[in-house]
Chain A
């Protein structure tokens, strides 16, 4: 919808000017722990403040998942049911490397910078994150390779099957030594400086920066020339091909970018929980991402954040209001949203905003006529 505006040169400064609402949101989130800490008088690493930071961390991570999903469904027009595979690949790679590789490596080798500082921990961390991204990118490339031949419902089913295969492998008792099968990996030894129970505010700000950077990057990506071609493939693939762009290349690009952020979110999520369980690769993750995007509004990016916030808030408050079966309410809201508000909250608001503006203009014109 914002594409109707006249395109200015996209620099980071312009971007920041246009995203005022997002920046205000980020500033609020930065202030949140301090304000709540002062109000309750518990300090920012204790009590209620700590609890709410935990809730918000999950919200930030899921918001990134929703945004990366929006990139596929909203911008590229691909219905993929395999998003959990990206997320799970990131989560499992992180957890597996931290559990089975990092301890033995750090006992065997120590790496120093010339001044004498020990940077082994940082290097291991960077390597693990890199590997998580690599794993999810590989899954993304696999998906995009299959999308050359398959369209629509067939592609949706294939991605569902691929994610399901990963889910089955994560659950399989054959690899119990590594993945812990049904139980999953627990107590993953994440680096001490990022430990979410010990340094909650630190993890909170890392997650916030993660959301901020992801949003800016994806927004920049969708506003870039490549992003415009991707929107073009959604609208009319043949025409894009006719103009001289190869849709497959651009689709692959979308998949890679989407997979990178979903994989990073998975890595964050497994570090936050200090575990990796097979539920992180199940369709529930995909369906949640889908619900967030639909509720918030497809093709808006901000919608993903709004949807993730709603889902997180609902899951917290609905439990108190409706008891353990709160997802029923949530499903009903989803159905109503699909039937009556297909553009989601953000999309509908943007549509209505235009109408409201038109209404104002008409009213002013009417009054002006009357004055004469």
Chain B
């Protein structure tokens, strides 16, 4: 069974008028499962979309399905980013809309969404429960799409693809946003469907991939380069060590001390369902925390309270910067002191802002720019854009850039005002290993000046070294609080 399933010859593809793939050749045989890894922006997603017929390309892509197999003769692509529509077919959702309750439901529930997917592809409904259970998603059946967190949206897409079992399955950054148990279980499920005849192409820079993966490749200068499995995590030669802009490292005067966050029995519920239960947590200025918990444990909700994004903050005994929430402060006064990055901030960010506008908008905590920032902010923006290596994309619109580059711009936005508190919720999603390490070193540098840090990351290896305290959530409750755990 080694006749080629996919045969790509002389594939050329441009992204925003720039060549990404140049005369790329690739043959995938019947018993092969591939991993595509490498730098962000090298063309992995473009290639995946070309194979799936989702983008226009020049050259030849021949896909031969096995007609004798029972599995659907399809290429199915799971995007690196979640996308969903409301009941009217539109996707005009806005940042943190999921926390504003409206009486009328505007999106489908997970259950109806899955049912209509199953019906479309004539899938057996009994196969679904095992997949849901393995990914820890069974509890979410009655949730509406708008209520899901980014990790849960990812899972929904993965559930569909695992249920469908297409002959060729392409997964783009499948582990992003998944907790470690879900990642392990996903790999087991992928091995099972591989055994049943699905061929896999994984796009990822993770070390833990399914055992069935037997070929590895990178894209270099528009061409596919096969590598040995053990080579994929070697560091590239491109090590850029620019000095951190001085305006960020100069000793910052007047970092306030004392209590920043104080939660007393904080509870958040939607109808009968409690997402956070009796949370008690205190954070003092200068502390470096990591926030851990499985998908759906309540991490994003907890952070949304701190960032002034959750309406139920007003109904709780919850103090920020020494003031009880709802005592006359505006959310903009809160946001002014916080630098935030999160999957949702990224997803809802104004796609029609340029990189430059996006970065400078960090001074105003807005998604996009609505005023003239003046000379000193402009020059600081230029400096930071250079530091992040984004000079050539300065005037490019966000939605014209690959995910990794967008993320770099938003990270620059997060730190540009050198805030008192950094809230970094999976900051390095979509970045390659080198970029991740580089960013974490920058976080360590910034935090030397008494910055308070709250960091969420599902990968232990990707955590800045300055972390000293840990809070663990489980099913909406504080499972444990540990201090001085990471200092060594």
Q: Do these two chains interact?
A: no
Give residues in B with beta carbon < 8 Å to A.
none
Residues on A facing B (Cβ under 8 Å): none
